[in-house]
A and B are shown apart, each in its own frame.
Chain A
């Protein structure tokens, strides 16, 4: 396992920013960020993803009735929103990036309880959570490890294989850090954005 400085300067002391995890079974020129970036910016990937989940999540009322093409374009818009936000923050300085990460990432444990639905004046209930989710581990207030991102149409992570895969990637990172004696249970926090 290796760490790629995606939104970070590796020469900085102390270490700060967002590093992407490169798992050992990834191709040489890929890492968790580039894989997330490439898949979500690929319309065929998004179409296949949405088609596979159409009946369970897109037409069963949970998100209303959403066509595959509309769902794909919504995911694209959310994807560019969050990647632009990270890019902008980093370009404005590491402090702004760290503020953004601190504000936007939430511990996974809290998120499970936060699957709240939108309650609005008798209007139909619609989940208001975003579809694009980023997963990372906080090592300290200034150091984050990005493990992956996906489209989350389900309420909970264990309801869809895409988010189950993301949880497994978080687990792999934790196990690796433990094996290398780099695991600090007090600081280590699994996050979702």
Chain B
């Protein structure tokens, strides 16, 4: 049934309520602190994975080893903690994992996702180990990027497959392993 536009608007307006959710106050909505937000989220995700993979590590042990409260661990795992680089280094040393550094490893899609992470502007200068690419990659669209020794960065008009082709031809410093 097609209804009168004015009648619809009247009914619709009677159902409008103010937005009381305050979602714009959330860290994820604060564009001025996006780098910090993403860093906190990355640390949280890596530590959550560490806890899943290491069943002898509990949140309590994590708190004890890091000399922080359980409440602080909860904040960290919710991706709401602010970190200094030195605090991240300390956690990395204790856990024996990289929390921010991205190493590109074998496995096409895994690497593709890591690389998509890297081409986020805030990770544009993340230092990597010399990567070895195994297998083949689907083109990454729309991200185009280049690898320059130890830094990934955005470029215009170059696809990842272009880069791989250059690497195969020996015209770039991307290390390839069949």
List residues of chain A with CB under 8 Å of any chain B CB. Answer: 1-6, 10, 13-15, 19-20, 22, 28-31, 33-34, 37-38, 41-44, 46-47, 51, 63-74, 76-77, 79-80, 83-84, 87, 118, 120-121, 123-124, 126, 128, 139, 180-186
**Contact call A47/B114, Cβ cutoff below 8 A:** no
Smallest distance from the beta carbon of A106 to chain B beta carbons, Å? 17
For this complex, 7 residue pairs linking A to B, each with C-beta atoms less than 8 Å apart, are: A2-B15, A2-B17, A43-B77, A43-B78, A47-B52, A69-B49, A128-B138
In the complex, whether B176 has a CB less than 8 A from a CB of chain A is no
**Contact call A64/B108, Cβ cutoff below 8 A:** yes
Stretch of B5-13, B63-71, B83-91, B124-132 on the interface side: B5-13
**Contact call B1/A71, Cβ cutoff below 8 A:** no
**Contact call B138/A180, Cβ cutoff below 8 A:** no
A159 to B23, CA, bound (A): 30
Q: How many A-B residue pairs have CB under 8 A?
A: 154
Given contacts A37-B28, A77-B120, A182-B11, contact A64 B19 (CB under 8 A): no
Q: Which residues of B contact A31 (CB under 8 A)?
A: 19, 21
Given contacts A124-B138, A184-B1, contact A44 B110 (CB under 8 A): no
Given contacts A68-B52, A124-B136, A126-B109, contact A41 B9 (CB under 8 A): no
The prevalent SS among residues of B at the interface is helix
Smallest distance from the beta carbon of A83 to chain B beta carbons, Å? 7
In the complex, whether B158 has a CB less than 8 A from a CB of chain A is no
**Contact call A14/B9, Cβ cutoff below 8 A:** yes
Q: Which residues of B contact A4 (CB under 8 A)?
A: 16-19, 21
Which listed residue, B13, B107, B112, touches A15 by the CB 8 Å rule?
B13
| Beyond A43-B44, A66-B110, 13 additional pairs, beta carbon < 8 A | A3-B15, A5-B19, A31-B21, A41-B26, A43-B48, A43-B78, A47-B52, A65-B110, A74-B113, A76-B41, A77-B117, A182-B3, A184-B8
**Contact call A74/B1, Cβ cutoff below 8 A:** no
Q: Which residues of A contact B138 (CB under 8 A)?
A: 118, 120, 123-124, 126, 128
